Chain A
Amino acid sequence: MVINKKKKQTASKKRTLITSSYPDSIISEQFRMIQTNIKFSVAGENSKIFLITSPGDGEGKSTTASNLAITIAQQKEKVLLIDANLRKPSLHTFFRTSNTNGLTDILNGRISFYDAIIHTEIGRLDIVPSGTVANNPVELLSSPMMRDLLISALRSYDVVLIDSNSILDVTDTKLLAKQCDGVVLVIQNGKTKFEKAAEAKKVLEFAKVKLVGVVMNK
């Protein structure tokens, strides 16, 4: 029984990073499709930093972000995945890394950007976890340090993906979106309400952020 449970657990963990565990699966193919479509969508623009967000909570932002990052890494591009969900960080659990040093520590000036980067088992994919829980996420994310961080990230990476909080619940995401080249909105089929999606669209338009496209989850 115990062994069974353990096996099931590892199986479910394996499943969240499906593009890495099952690169030939249908879902991995779908992520490759999304990656290609993003490429087409920003063709001719110098877009490298993408924010991944959704109108509400639990619609698959982190899952989409990490799988998309893996897919891009598999296409021989250097990818940095930043967990900017400072309130409910989850990326480190996906990649099973520690969350002691991360984004908040960089923004607080406690450590340098390069010290916070964690190299994952997947080649060409590095992640920056959210770091110690901060009580002032809005200030941190709007600080000039964030701008500098992204600029230095672009020097060593081809693509930067930022996993964030939901766009309607907190201001952080709007501030972040301003600093990105494009926003990818994740919408969960049968969960995201039309009203919420419309609101998210309004927010993005108001912030004058480019919406690269929408990913429909499930």
Chain B
Amino acid sequence: MKNVNQIQGQENHRVKDINLKELFLVIKRRFWVIVMIAIIASIIGAYLNNLSTTPLYQTSSRIIIGTDAESQKTLQVIIKDSAILDKVIEELNLDKSAEELAGQISVASIDGSQVVSISVIDRDPILAASIADKTAQVFKDEVPNIVGEDYIRLLSNAKVNTSPINQENNNKLYLAIIAGIIVGIGFAFLIESLDDRIRSEKEIEALFGVQVLGKISKMNNRNIKKKKSGRLEIELRGETIGYK
């Protein structure tokens, strides 16, 4: 009776371990499914990564608008007006509309001062610099025509900035690998749940109601080795010579 209790106790105790072990076994058994899905996902991720990163370059030229704050704001708005930008497009021979160009340009006064920077973002760093400079130049030339007074002085020219502002990162790749592994594990468990092949003695015992007489291991080198460790070395040598 004590024995029976002990055995049952062991069974109860073991249940936890076996569940974890089974999860692990499922992952181990379907390891290649998980790896394959992760690889496919990472390939897609790497592809998307390459696809999305056209490097963009930003540069700015600075001007000084020597007037009171209110006029300064007005003039800042005028920079992005088509009256200015059309001229810029004309002089630089750009294949763009004024609206498109306006989207690439941002104008801001620096720290509330009279210095205003004209920033341009473009795929071509040299073109970005020349657009910025040209806009500043055209603006300076045109303002007297528009408002009648010359408030504008050029402060500094735009420098060609060779490092892209959108840095290449592998975020998508990492995300894809992680997602791939997660989907792979999910898929492995899905396959496992659809798979009704017998894998444990417990299943057999539950099904047949008879005991499992025994288990036969795979016939590999390890299992046909002699059991007695004392003779193991000698036997090993003999076997290796015999097989190879």
Contacts and interface: CB of A to CB of B under 8 A. Distances in A.
A24 interface: yes
Interface string B8-38: 0000000000000000000000000000000
A26 B223 contact: yes
19 contacts: A11-B242, A15-B224, A18-B224, A25-B223, A26-B217, A26-B225, A27-B223, A30-B215, A37-B214, A38-B213, A41-B210, A187-B204, A190-B197, A190-B199, A194-B196, A197-B204, A213-B213, A216-B214, A218-B218
A213 B224 contact: no
Interface string B184-220: 0000000000001111010110011011111111110
Contacts of A191: 197
B27 to A, nearest CB: 15
A112 interface: no
B226 interface: yes
A214 B199 contact: no
Interface in A197-215: 197-198, 201, 211-215
B237 interface: no
Contact of A216 (B207, B210, B212, B227): B212
A8 interface: yes
B2 interface: no
Instruction: Please classify the interface of chain B as helix (H, G, I), strand (E, B), loop, or mixed, using the class held by over half of its residues.
Output: mixed
A27 B212 CA distance: 16
A80 B113 CA distance: 107
Contacts of B215: 30, 189, 215-217
Q: Which size bracket describes the interface of B in this complex? A: 20 to 34
Interface in A52-87: 60, 64, 67
A184 interface: yes
A134 interface: no
A38 B227 CA distance: 23
Interface of A: 4, 7-8, 11, 15-16, 18, 21-22, 24-27, 29-31, 33-34, 37-38, 41, 60, 64, 67, 184-185, 187, 189-195, 197-198, 201, 211-218
A150 B54 CA distance: 83
Given A8-B243, A25-B223, A29-B227, A194 B212 contact: no
B213 A7 contact: no
B157 to A, nearest CB: 73
B216 A214 contact: no
A211 to B, nearest CB: 5
A194 B203 CA distance: 8
B210 to A, nearest CB: 5
